[in-house]
């Protein structure tokens, strides 16, 4: 089990990088959501590069924090158009594909390398 980590970095006017490792608990989820909200101020039609550095399923407390902040999370999601997930965890990849299919106007793709994810994010989004 790796140490829990949730790092959010703004890489451009409309671009975020999120690195996640370990198991996120309620306290870290509170900090992570606040950090995301701050970093996303002023973003529109953004993209996010999510890097799985050994992430584990979050604790029930962390999921409770997400549910409590659901309106804030949905507002942040509306600022994004695309997400690239770099992960070898098939469960996370499947969850990303399902989320992409369920959220209109939001596309998530999974990649094996950060380079291929960045290449996809650097291309213009496909017309709907």
Sheet holding 15-22, edge to edge: 5-12, 15-22, 46-55, 80-86, 107-111
Instruction: Tell me the pLDDT of the chain (128 aa) as tens digits.
Output: 678 999 999 999 999 999 999 999 999 999 999 999 999 999 999 999 999 999 999 999 999 999 999 999 989 999 999 999 999 999 999 999 999 898 888 999 999 999 999 999 998 776 55
Helix (H, G, I), strand (E, B) or coil at 60: helix
- pTM beyond 0.85, yes or no: yes
Rounded to whole angstroms, the Cα distance separating 94 from 80 reads 20
Residue 15 contacts residue 51 (beta carbons within 8 Å): no
């Amino acid at each position: 089990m790796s140490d829990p980590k949730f790092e959010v970095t703004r890489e451009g006017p409309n671009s975020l990088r999120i690195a996640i490792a370990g198991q996120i608990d309620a306290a870290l989820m509170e900090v992570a959501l606040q950090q995301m909200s701050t970093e996303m101020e002023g973003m529109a039609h953004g993209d996010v590069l999510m890097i799985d550095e050994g992430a584990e399923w979050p604790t029930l407390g962390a999921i409770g924090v997400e549910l409590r902040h659901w309106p804030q999370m949905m507002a942040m999601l509306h600022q994004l158009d695309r997400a690239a997930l770099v992960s070898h965890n098939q469960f996370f990849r499947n969850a990303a594909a399902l989320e992409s299919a369920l959220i209109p106007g939001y596309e998530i793709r999974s990649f094996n390398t950060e380079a291929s994810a960045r290449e996809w994010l650097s291309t213009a989004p496909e017309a709907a």
